[in-house]
Amino acid sequence: MLNNGDRAPDFELPDADMTIAKLADYQGKPLVLFFYLRDDTPGCTTEAIEFSDLEHDFLRLNCTVVGISRDDCIRHGAFRDKHGITVRLLADKDGIACRDYGVLVNREVDGVMREGVNRTTFIINGQGDIAHVLPGVTPKGHAAEVFKLVKEL
């Protein structure tokens, strides 16, 4: 797991429209990266909608919010359109960014060990360093908590 003060790992991932996003695209301004389990699950939907509801507030602070999961671009597009999600969703199908950010965990599901995402948010400052790591996130109210931290940067 990464810690406050660590350099944020670069990433190069497609979004729901298959446009590639890189960490360098956000250089010079704060970036919120929220890693979530899966599109269209109750907690992930709550989290993505709350970030979308606050997106204009984040933008007033010159901060962009981006969600990352292991779902593919098509699933991201359907999730976005179904729930009116406005924050950018990136597809990490191979789990490369998830591994680089240290958010993959092994969980037992129906008696079988599976690799999954530990819901974690990273606040990255304009210099590309991690200002805050928030692991094991509870979705309800999380976006407001993150907004307060971004205001303090």
Residue numbers annotated as active site: 44
- What is the phi/psi pair of residue 94, to 5°? -85, -5
Answer for the pair 87, 48: CB distance below 8 angstroms, yes or no: yes
Distances (CA, A) of 127 to 2, 105, 124: 16, 28, 8
Give the integer Cα–Cα distance in Å for 15 and 13: 7
Alpha-carbon span 142 to 153, nearest angstrom: 17
Cα separation, 125 vs 49, whole angstroms: 23
- Round to whole Å and give the CA distance between 17 and 92: 14
